[in-house]
Amino acid sequence: MYSLSFYEAVEKCLKGEGFIRGDKFRDGIYVKKQGETLIAVDAFHSDKVIGNFYVSAGILAQKYKVFHDAAREELLSGCSKLTPVFHNGWK
């Protein structure tokens, strides 16, 4: 369930409580902590690192969830097909 604000989700991720996803992320995309940085990962393409997790107005406006297992069900948002957040970089 996507119920966390951006700030709540980022805080949990930085504390190592799990991965995070926004409700408008493209399917398969999630954010994880790597060292002291948050990075975006594409789980459907061999966990390919997309890049650093940059903040934009669209990112701030989303609702987020935290999860511990990058299972396929956790990586599908249901609404991302309408608004791809990641496509050749961040929008």
Q: Which of 15-19, 23-27, 75-79, 86-90 has the highest mean pLDDT?
A: 15-19
Percentage of the chain beyond pLDDT 90 is 37
* Integer Cα distance of 53 and 50 in angstroms: 9
Q: 21 pLDDT band (50/70/90 cuts)?
A: very high
- Among 11, 34, 9, 35, smallest CA distance to 22 is for 9
